[in-house]
Amino acid sequence: MSVFTGDDETSLIELLNQELVISGRILELTVRQADLIATDDIDAFDDSLGFRQELIDKIEGLHQESDVLMQSYISYSSSAVGEESGDIEASVSRLRDIFTKCASLDDKNTIAAKEKAESYKGRIGKLSMSRKSMRSYIPNISNDPEMFDRMM
């Protein structure tokens, strides 16, 4: 039987609370990314992706500590003598909700970003075509330095 002490519970709750704070920031950032995509603020969007990855890395660091405690908690709470912790269960439930919202927004943001990318491709194609047609209006002047010297 796994041993899960009160200190373990306190440590796990603290780690889960840290993850909740960081996850909340990720959710806020994900919502903001939708606005950045809509307003074509590519630089800010790119910066937000980098910052978001930093937050995800922090969560992964927390998991290095919390995964062992979570496994002990699961073993203990599912044993005959163990019981569930309301605080742990509530934190895990809130984390699931946040990650579900983030995943849904990520899907929407990915679709919107792909649509924007296709729109940019179309605009670039039109620009390229007009640039080719603009070249036909450029006078055919030779690039001869002697000609310019004679003109001056």
- The number of beta carbons lying within 10 Å of the beta carbon of residue 93 is 10
Q: What is the pLDDT, as a whole number, of residue 125?
A: 73
Query: CATH for 6-136?
Result: 1.20.58
* pLDDT at residue 140 in the model: 60
CB neighbour list of residue 31: distance below 8 Å, 6 or more residues apart: 105
Q: Are 51 and 59 in contact (CB under 8 A)?
A: no
Identify the pLDDT of residue 80: 79
Spatial CA neighbour of 21 closest among 68, 47, 58: 58
Residue ranges in the chain whose pLDDT is less than 70: 1-2, 128-152
pTM: 0.75
Note the pLDDT of residue 1: 47
What pLDDT shows up at residue 98?
97
Instruction: Look at the block and give the residue holding tokens 């041993």.
Output: 3
pLDDT value of position 25: 98
